[in-house]
Amino acid sequence: MTEQASSATPQQHEAAIDTLEQALSVLWRRARSNSYKVAREVHPDMEPAAYGLLVLLQKQQDMRLTDIAASIGIGKPSVSRQIVMLENLGLVQKHADPLDGRAQTISLTPAGAQALAKTQCARKELFRTLLEGWDADELEQLGSLLTKLNDSYARDR
């Protein structure tokens, strides 16, 4: 526990949590709205939830459906529907798993990789614009604190 946190009264701690909850609520609404825009930039018919699947496949390359579902903490049927949609849009492809011929792995198609990379560049430019008045220390602190928050969510699963 930090020195600052240990000296806070229960009321100050509760007030800080209230402020954080309100700020995150606004941020999540804005992020959800932005997710719709980002997904449409990848493909006009893509659902926003599928963007995260594409990013995961970009990082991991070939993955089995069960591994994708486990990695993002969503049920296999939901992920399967998203993968079928992405496959129909030409963004992902399935192929036989070289380790187990009965299973399939999923990867980005070249068109999917290209569309995702283009969208990521545009998204990064938006962040540059939004955060142009921030100094590097503030950006690092925000990144560190958001990582800590994400880790707390991951532990809570």
For residue 79, what pLDDT is reported?
92
Q: Under 8 Å CB-to-CB from 36, ≥6 apart: which residues?
A: 48
Beta bridge partners of 107: 93
For residue 3, what pLDDT is reported?
47
For residue 6, what pLDDT is reported?
63
Per-10-residue mean pLDDT of the chain, 157 residues long, equals 66 92 91 83 86 92 91 89 94 88 90 93 88 95 92 79
For residue 49, what pLDDT is reported?
82
Phi, psi at 44, each rounded to 5°: -60, -20
Q: Under 8 Å CB-to-CB from 157, ≥6 apart: which residues?
A: 73
Phi, psi at 97, each rounded to 5°: -70, 125
Here the tokens at position 152 are 């707390």
For residue 38, what pLDDT is reported?
82
Q: Give the chain's domains with CATH numbers.
A: 3-156 (1.10.10.10)
